[in-house]
């Protein structure tokens, strides 16, 4: 087969799988919610409610497509389209697997391999907020506008801490390419073992960037009706909701690549050698790659499950708490992490960023005890 | 093919830059400015400077323009409340624009690059850029970071409440 055709097939299948997983994430979200709240969840459409996403899509398409009278019509349509576009772009640079050997050619299981992969993801994520902002502004509704403004300030605040936590990873692996970062974690050297604080900061920021609970303040129903999508109906609303699930998929994939070794798994060399010995060079390698892809998707699906788990466990933050956490908590912690990681590389002590965890925990405990004492004093007075 | 992409990006950049100036609605101006940044990033990509292209998008389109939109949305500008600027301000704007044009023209006229001359096509990649920044241009780079630090401290100073000023 022509390598160009194989590449096109890989791009198309990555796109298709992204959409498929996002579709079934909506079903899984309700199932997980049902499980956590001790009820059944969707179980009418198809076996175990498996046809539910299709039914939802049908409902969304046939609802009235309403555009408010004084809305800015083109921007009103442009908002959800942009949200969907940026959400679909992020998974282009993610390495889902090693490579397939087809005849003479080696084909990477990745849509495009660029030497700035992680920056590309970061750039696309930073554009994602425009969909919400433009849609919220174009609706000509005060609540939508407030939701849009919240989305903007939240995304900008958490992008900083996210960038700083990624810098520590880049320092460790010495490359901006996601594939090199993944290959650097070969042999059980997963970055989470060396970057625990970076992982926690990155995960928190990923929740905030995806507008997921506990940081879903742009669509906070109790304060803003529906937030930026108050005026939206039909498939435009569907695009906004669907983009959130695609973002979840993409951020789980990026988390898996950065911190959990991507398609690496313990003992993969032994498996590959056995397969090559018994099935021949190319077939063995291809099957080993297939196992790697399965491992990668298992990690991604667990990441998506974690998003849902948190959503149905934690309540929503207050807005000032969100800003305080971002600016006064995560950014200083991330800077400390970068400094200690740099020192660790200089002194060849890769575990040094664990010290950052201890320092942050120490400061948090100290702060909590001081504020408790203050409260006690205030009560006595 | 590449030439066509170049012309398309160039026209897109110039037309949307003009629309930034001519739009009545400030939100539309910001959106056209974002399109301009994207066209410029496309030019960087054509020059094989992927790092600059992405950083341009992250910093300008992703952060600064979001803040612009943020502020403009809060200002709630309408056509009825639009203030006519005095003629002196318009003249000053035109003159400062022309000065910038003169500087750019001077730099371009002095530049001496023959069309066929050897240019290292890898110069825009992040490794080479980093090496140049941290060896030949270390002092300007560090000075720029000190400048940013000063700007940050200044912003915090301006945003800080005076003692005695009521909280919220």
Chain A partners within 8 Å of B74 (Cβ)? 149
Residues B69 and B9 in one domain: yes
The reply to whether A126 touches chain B by the CB within 8 Å rule is yes
Domain presence at residue B7: yes
Residues B137 and B70 in one domain: no
Residues B72 and B139 in one domain: no
Are A198 and A360 spatial neighbours (Cβ–Cβ below 8 Å)?
no
- Listing DSSP states for A354-371 in one string gives HHHHHHHHHHHHHHHHHH
Whether residue B34 and residue A130 make contact (CB cut-off 8 A), yes or no, is yes
Whether residue A176 and residue B126 make contact (CB cut-off 8 A), yes or no, is yes
Domain presence at residue B41: yes
Containing domain of residue B145, as a range? 126-161
* B:71-100 residues touching chain A, CB 8 A cutoff: 73-74
For chain B, how many structural domains are there in total?
2
Domain presence at residue B84: no
Q: In this predicted model, what pLDDT tens digit does every residue of A192-249 receive, in sequence order?
A: 888 888 899 999 998 888 888 788 877 777 777 777 888 888 888 888 888 888 988 9
How many residue pairs from chains A and B have C-beta atoms closer than 8 A?
A: 62
Are A121 and A176 spatial neighbours (Cβ–Cβ below 8 Å)?
no
Domain presence at residue B34: yes
Whether residue B126 and residue A153 make contact (CB cut-off 8 A), yes or no, is no
Q: Which of B79, B104, B138 is the last residue of a domain?
A: B79
Residues B2 and B57 in one domain: yes
**Element containing residue A316 per DSSP (H, E):** none
Closest Cα in chain A, distance from residue B63 (Å): 7
For Cα atoms B127, B62, B15, give the angle at the middle one, nearest 5 degrees. 100
Domain presence at residue B89: no
* A:360-379 residues touching chain B, CB 8 A cutoff: none
The reply to whether A152 touches chain B by the CB within 8 Å rule is yes
A107: β partners = A100
Whether residue A127 and residue B57 make contact (CB cut-off 8 A), yes or no, is yes
Which residue in chain B has the smallest CA separation from A132? B66
Q: Which of B22, B51, B79 is the last residue of a domain?
A: B79
Domain presence at residue B24: yes
Are A99 and A191 spatial neighbours (Cβ–Cβ below 8 Å)?
no
Residues B73 and B133 in one domain: no
Between CA A314 and CA A215 the distance in angstroms is 10
Residues B132 and B73 in one domain: no
Contacts (Cβ under 8 Å, ≥6 apart) of A61? A234, A235, A238
Blockwise average pLDDT, block size 10, chain B, 168 residues: 87 91 83 90 86 87 84 68 75 92 89 68 78 88 92 87 68
Whether residue A129 and residue B66 make contact (CB cut-off 8 A), yes or no, is yes
The reply to whether A87 touches chain B by the CB within 8 Å rule is no
Q: A interface mutation test: which of B24, B54, B79, B129 has the most A CBs within 10 A? A: B54
Q: B interface mutation test: which of A74, A89, A123 has the most B CBs within 10 A? A: A123
Q: What is the CATH number of the domain that holds B22?
A: 1.20.120.1200
Chain A partners within 8 Å of B69 (Cβ)? 130, 133, 137, 152
The reply to whether B126 touches chain A by the CB within 8 Å rule is yes
Q: Print pLDDT tens along chain A (381 aa).
A: 676 787 788 888 888 888 888 888 888 888 888 888 888 888 888 788 888 888 888 888 888 888 888 777 888 888 889 888 888 888 888 888 887 777 777 777 777 778 888 888 888 888 888 888 888 888 888 888 888 888 888 888 888 888 888 888 888 888 888 888 888 888 778 888 888 888 999 999 988 888 887 888 777 777 777 778 888 888 888 888 888 889 889 999 999 988 888 888 888 778 888 888 887 777 888 888 888 888 889 999 999 999 988 888 888 888 888 888 888 888 888 888 888 888 888 888 777 778 878 888 888 888 888 887 777 777 776
């Amino acid at each position: 087969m022509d390598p160009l055709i194989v590449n096109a097939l890989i791009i198309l299948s990555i796109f298709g799988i992204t959409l498929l997983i996002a579709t079934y994430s909506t079903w899984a979200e309700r199932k997980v919610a049902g499980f956590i709240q001790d009820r059944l969840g969707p179980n009418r459409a198809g076996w175990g409610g498996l046809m539910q996403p299709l039914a939802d899509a049908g409902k969304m398409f046939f609802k009235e497509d309403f555009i408010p009278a004084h809305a800015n019509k083109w921007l009103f349509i442009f908002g959800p389209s942009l949200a969907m576009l940026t959400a679909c772009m992020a998974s282009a640079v993610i390495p889902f697997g090693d490579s397939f050997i087809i005849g003479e050619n080696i084909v990477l299981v990745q849509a495009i391999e660029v030497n700035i992969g992680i920056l590309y993801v970061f750039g696309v994520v930073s554009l994602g907020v425009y969909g919400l902002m433009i849609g919220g502004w174009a609706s000509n509704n005060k609540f939508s506008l407030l939701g849009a403004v919240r989305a903007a300030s939240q995304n900008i605040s958490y992008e900083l801490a996210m960038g700083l936590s990624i810098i520590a990873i880049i320092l460790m692996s010495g490359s901006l390419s996601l594939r090199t970062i993944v290959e650097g974690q070969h042999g059980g050297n997963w970055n989470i073992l060396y970057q625990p604080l970076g992982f926690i900061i990155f995960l928190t920021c990923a929740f905030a960037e995806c507008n997921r609970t506990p940081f879903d303040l742009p669509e906070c129903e109790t304060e803003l009706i529906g937030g930026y999508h108050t005026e939206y109906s039909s498939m435009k609303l569907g695009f906004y909701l669907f983009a959130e699930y695609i973002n979840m998929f993409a951020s789980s994939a990026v988390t898996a690549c950065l911190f959990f070794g991507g398609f690496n798994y313990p003992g993969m060399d032994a498996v590959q050698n056995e397969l090559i010995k018994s099935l021949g060079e190319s077939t063995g390698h291809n099957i080993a790659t297939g196992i790697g892809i399965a491992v990668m998707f298992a990690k991604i699906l667990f990441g998506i499950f974690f998003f849902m788990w948190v959503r149905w466990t934690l309540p929503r933050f207050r807005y000032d708490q969100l800003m305080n956490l971002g600016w006064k908590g995560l950014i200083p912690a991330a800077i400390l992490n970068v400094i200690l990681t740099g020192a660790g590389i200089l002194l060849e002590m890769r575990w040094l960023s664990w010290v950052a965890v201890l320092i942050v925990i120490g400061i948090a405990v100290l702060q909590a005890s001081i504020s408790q004492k203050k409260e006690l004093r205030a009560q006595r007075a | 093919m590449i030439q066509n992409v170049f012309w398309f990006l160039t026209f897109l950049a110039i037309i949307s830059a003009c629309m930034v100036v001519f739009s009545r609605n400030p939100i539309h101006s910001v959106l056209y400015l974002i399109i301009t940044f994207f066209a410029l990033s496309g030019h960087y990509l054509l020059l094989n400077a992927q790092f600059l292209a992405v950083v341009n998008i992250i910093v300008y389109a992703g952060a600064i323009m979001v803040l612009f939109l943020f502020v403009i949305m809060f200002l709630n500008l309408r056509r009825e409340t639009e203030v006519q600027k005095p003629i002196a301000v318009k003249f000053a704007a035109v003159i400062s624009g022309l000065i910038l044009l003169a500087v750019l023209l001077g730099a371009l006229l002095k530049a001496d690059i023959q069309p066929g001359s050897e240019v290292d096509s890898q110069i825009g990649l992040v490794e080479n850029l980093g090496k140049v920044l941290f060896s030949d241009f270390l002092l300007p780079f560090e000075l720029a970071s000190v400048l940013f630090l000063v700007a940050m401290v200044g912003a915090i100073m301006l945003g800080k409440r005076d003692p005695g000023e009521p909280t919220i």
